[in-house]
Structure 1
Amino acid sequence: MTVFSSILKTDGTKIVDASGKQVVLKGAGLGGALNMENFITGYSGHETEHKKAIEEVLGKKKTDYFFDRFYDYFWTEADAEFYAGMGLNTLRIPFNYRHFFDDDAPGVIKPSGFALLDRMVDRCAKYGIYVVLDLHAVPGGQNQDWHSDSAIHQALFWVHRDFQDRVINLWVEIAKHYKGDARIAGYNPVNEPADPEHTRLWDFYVRVEKAIREIDPDHILFLDGNTYAGDFTHFGKPLPNTVYAIHDYALYGFPGFEQYAGKSEQDDKLRRQFLRKVKVANEANVPVWNGEFGPVYEPEVVYPGAPATISIEENVATNVGRYNMLAAQLRIYRESNISWSIWTYKDVGIQGLVTVSPNSPWYKKFGDFIEKKKRLGADFWGAHPDADADALYTALAEHFKKEIPEQFHKKMYPPLWDIKRQITRVSREIVLSSYLCYEYAEFFRGMTEPELDELAKSFCIENCDKRHLLNKYLEEDARTA
């Protein structure tokens, strides 16, 4: 068990304790709880509209009751015990700003947000698990995706300084609350920023660092690179006691792309991708933390709603390749001795170390709907590669390409997303998904509080399955000195 004898700090390219001993942080993100993402728990749309749609069906009292139980069951002492038993020593806790203030009262901090975080931190601390606090959704959206809890494809956080001021004020309150708390490994001020102008992110980091340091001079700041934590080229002089946070997803681990087969050229590509992202940190003598990575997996058991054509044998073979890709990534990280946090700890069977059982009340109620979402491609993470109507989106993309002069095809930010990706993001993953959230909410109609409690208990670890081969690879790496 970790002894929280001192607050961690940086020393050159290392994270160390007060004695100067290096501490390599290894763990996972707790996505899906205090910041909800639709592929993690199976709902549709973005978090705020999802909760609003349920409240229209259930009423406020029952909705609050359901989510209170859901948050409590998502990370319990039993989760912390299992997690620490794997040798994992750090949990990244993503949270939505809306737990701490409302848009119509941005200056009023809600104690309920701290109560939710404190409960998770306390449960981690009992088993010696450090916590990284990760602000995963900010006012206006810090990137162009729905997982910043925004129903548009613009990152307005970088446009309106008032939004940035609100977040800086929030971090001041968080710093007041956790100042001197050695259980906290550090603060991750904003997840996956995507500033099209590339300069406003660093200006924000300078401002938020100054504000935090006036209250809390000690905790590490984990600073994500721009464009979804991949680009550090516009960073200024390194700020003291900071770690550069990359996200290192590899397309070999996703359906619809070339699959990992252990080829030397594939390993070389994984290494080049990683080294490109850490180049600035290495040159600046700053530690690196890989805040997110990991493939998605095909179901190895039959879930409610699964198509009759599903082949478990094929899925198992596909997953072996993805586990092998993960192992290759972990070897690369060990070579550089960096800290990491895989995405994500618990979900409905896409990526999690722990997954909701196909026999659970959750899957009995939502299984058909989750499969419909996959079939329609309503969220990118969980979509079938041959999602329904894909030919329609391809034709629409071709129409756009024909009518838009080629010189402008890469003008939309980020330019690595082609025209079809931009179209499907907006039409399928935002608009279609927003319509589907009302269908999802109807499944709650008429449910009693005991029924809601049983539904939420589907996420209790005692009722979940474990992804054993994934956990084996992670445990082996976590226990490697």
Structure 2
Amino acid sequence: MKNTTKRFLCGFAIFSFLFTQAQNCWLTTKGKNIVNASTQKNVILRAVGLGSWDLQEGYMLHPGNCKGCAPGPQWTMKKIYYDQGVSEEKVAAFYQKWRDNFITKKDIDYIASLGFNSIRFPMHYDVFLTKTQRKVRNSIILDTIQNYEHYQDSLKTWLNHNKLFTKANLEGFKMIDNLVKWCKANHMYIILDLHAAPGGQGTDKNIADTFQKNGLWKHQIFQDVTDKLWDEISKKYNNEPTIALYDILNEPNNVPGGGKTIHPLLQRLINTIRKNDSKHMIMIEGNGWGNNYNNLEPFTFKNNKGLVYNAHRYWIDPMDDEILDKNPNQINRLVNLIAFRDKYNVPVWVGETGENNNEWLSQNIQKLERNNIGWCHWTYKRFDTKENAALMHITGTFPSEGKEVMNEVLEHIKFKNCVPNLNTIKAVTKDIPKGDTTGCNN
């Protein structure tokens, strides 16, 4: 009896510790700041984006300006393999192995060792489909016009019969679960980013794996599917404090009607999430690759508690950061970003920045840190023959070289075979406070 009591008390103590730790990890908004919900301590989220893990972006698959050899959307990479006689099953197996090898616990441990306290996970919605459903989507690659319409009809049928995103063992949920486990072990937070939305959220082919420009805005079914996805994600993870933010729609761009067109869908997604989840912060991204907030200001949204506003900063002349854009809702310049934050008393976060020389990267991060603005470096690793603006580069053969190098590529993307970009790492991390990542380490 005594041993039983001791085991019970020990188990209860462990449970109480873990419960208390989890409660102390929640983040929330307080005025224009992101804070720890328990301590009210200010938190600056310093993140790395895991580009190409779930969604391959064509320019990352081949170095330099290689015209005709680097595909744009991910589906054109698959088409290279199909056209070379690789079966659908083998292509699917390749992409499964790609996901298994590209990011592992070793990668997350390494990112944490550099001082980052969070990870932005760019998600492709198709990994939340079943294998059978994904096969229907991939059939568009073989007959774009006919099968595109068939896929939309299939989505309607699956949605009407509650067959979308409802299985617990879907690949997308496995990836999130692994990331939660790895990040929790490193006291890190996660930003879930819907990077490739159903139908495609703009005209940029790289970021959304689109078959048709602005498909999300042209076809109602894609908006319905997007809503269903966030419904299921927010149900499953509503009590997981390791997840800091839901980034509900990455980089809408060249959307006809701009914010007026985008607003109804964002409001719908906010309402859906809030039915399931009152705790997690929700990040808004505007038109123009997440920078323009005409008709998307905080006061235009109902249920707007816990909103965070986003900017993506690439190749901005440092001098321009001091000159107000004539449109106060265009917030990628630092002076506009700060003014927007202060005017609306809402937190802002730079969801992507990078892809520049080291001098620019360094001055950019220094300015953001001085102004209490969190940021996310894009990207963690990508293919190249030399150092680039990612934290690491993948050497050797490139996916665009075709079926003959598929197995080599899968080996080269492993953590042990990637090469740190030491000068880039120094430029990006030298201003991160040492020993104070403000991660979930209470």
Please classify the TM superposition score into its range, dividing by the shorter chain length: 0.7 to 0.9
1:333 aligns with 2:368: yes
The one of 281, 284, 287 equivalent to 2:344 is: 284
Distance 1:270 1:339 in 2: 21
1:460 aligns with 2:414: yes
1:179 aligns with 2:206: no
SS in 2 for 1:221: strand
Preserved CA contact (<8 Å) 1:231 1:277: no
SS in 2 for 1:329: helix
Q: Using the TM superposition, give the Cα deviation of residue 151 of structure 1 relative to its aligned residue in structure 2, in angstroms.
A: 3.9
Distance 2:416 2:128 in 1: 30
Q: Using the TM superposition, give the Cα deviation of residue 269 of structure 1 relative to its aligned residue in structure 2, in angstroms.
A: 5.6
The one of 31, 35, 47 equivalent to 1:27 is: 47
Preserved CA contact (<8 Å) 1:344 1:352: yes
The one of 214, 237, 245 equivalent to 1:155 is: 214
Query: 2:108 maps to which residue?
Result: 80
Q: Using the TM superposition, give the Cα deviation of residue 164 of structure 1 relative to its aligned residue in structure 2, in angstroms.
A: 1.2
Distance 1:281 1:80 in 2: 31
Distance 2:313 2:367 in 1: 11
The one of 218, 224, 227 equivalent to 2:285 is: 224
Query: 2:72 maps to which residue?
Result: 45
TM-score, normalization by structure 1: 0.70
- Percent identity between matched residues is 28
Q: Using the TM superposition, give the Cα deviation of residue 243 of structure 1 relative to its aligned residue in structure 2, in angstroms.
A: 0.5
Q: Using the TM superposition, give the Cα deviation of residue 83 of structure 1 relative to its aligned residue in structure 2, in angstroms.
A: 0.6
1:52-75 CA-to-partner distances (Å, cap 9, x unmatched) read 442453213322222222111111
Q: 1:124/1:161 Cα in 2 relative to 1: closer, same or farther (>3 Å)?
A: same
User: Runs in 1 of length 4+ with deviation above 4 angstroms?
Assistant: 269-272
Q: Using the TM superposition, give the Cα deviation of residue 267 of structure 1 relative to its aligned residue in structure 2, in angstroms.
A: 6.3
1:405-444 CA-to-partner distances (Å, cap 9, x unmatched) read xxxxxxxxxxxxxxxxxxxxxxxxxxxxxxxxxxx47x20
Preserved CA contact (<8 Å) 1:92 1:132: yes
Query: 2:307 maps to which residue?
Result: 242
Query: 2:329 maps to which residue?
Result: none
The one of 261, 265, 268 equivalent to 1:207 is: 268
1:273 aligns with 2:353: no
Preserved CA contact (<8 Å) 1:40 1:348: yes
Structure 1: gaps of 5 or more residues: 253-259, 297-321, 367-439
Query: 2:429 maps to which residue?
Result: 475
Preserved CA contact (<8 Å) 1:230 1:277: no
Q: Using the TM superposition, give the Cα deviation of residue 353 of structure 1 relative to its aligned residue in structure 2, in angstroms.
A: 0.3
Distance 1:28 1:331 in 2: 16
Distance 2:247 2:320 in 1: 31
Query: 2:176 maps to which residue?
Result: 117
Letter in 1 for 2:393: T
Q: 1:474/1:331 Cα in 2 relative to 1: closer, same or farther (>3 Å)?
A: same
The one of 35, 38, 51 equivalent to 1:16 is: 35
TM-score, normalization by structure 2: 0.75
Between 40-49 and 180-189, the greater mean CA deviation after superposition: 40-49
Distance 1:47 1:270 in 2: 37
Distance 1:286 1:325 in 2: 27
Query: 1:444 maps to which residue?
Result: 403
Letter in 2 for 1:347: R
SS in 1 for 2:25: coil
Between 166-175 and 13-22, the greater mean CA deviation after superposition: 13-22
Letter in 2 for 1:28: V
Q: 1:270/1:73 Cα in 2 relative to 1: closer, same or farther (>3 Å)?
A: farther
Letter in 1 for 2:310: A
Preserved CA contact (<8 Å) 2:199 2:211: no
Letter in 2 for 1:132: I
Preserved CA contact (<8 Å) 1:246 1:278: no
Distance 1:458 1:215 in 2: 41
Distance 2:343 2:291 in 1: 16
Q: Using the TM superposition, give the Cα deviation of residue 84 of structure 1 relative to its aligned residue in structure 2, in angstroms.
A: 0.5
Preserved CA contact (<8 Å) 1:70 1:457: no
Q: Using the TM superposition, give the Cα deviation of residue 266 of structure 1 relative to its aligned residue in structure 2, in angstroms.
A: 6.1
Query: 1:167 maps to which residue?
Result: 226
Q: Using the TM superposition, give the Cα deviation of residue 123 of structure 1 relative to its aligned residue in structure 2, in angstroms.
A: 2.0
SS in 2 for 1:192: coil
Preserved CA contact (<8 Å) 2:359 2:427: no
1:203-237 CA-to-partner distances (Å, cap 9, x unmatched) read 22211111101011111101112211111132241
1:145 aligns with 2:99: no
Instruction: Give the 5 Å matches for 1:399-414.
Output: none
Preserved CA contact (<8 Å) 1:270 1:329: no
1:349-374 CA-to-partner distances (Å, cap 9, x unmatched) read 343101113xx3x35xx6xxxxxxxx
1:442-469 CA-to-partner distances (Å, cap 9, x unmatched) read x205x7xxx72x4312111211111112
Preserved CA contact (<8 Å) 2:283 2:308: yes
Preserved CA contact (<8 Å) 1:134 1:191: yes
Distance 1:336 1:149 in 2: 35
Letter in 2 for 1:476: K
1:7 aligns with 2:26: yes
What's the Cα RMSD here?
Answer: 2.3
Letter in 1 for 2:108: A
Query: 1:400 maps to which residue?
Result: none
Distance 2:369 2:324 in 1: 14
SS in 2 for 1:477: coil
SS in 2 for 1:88: coil
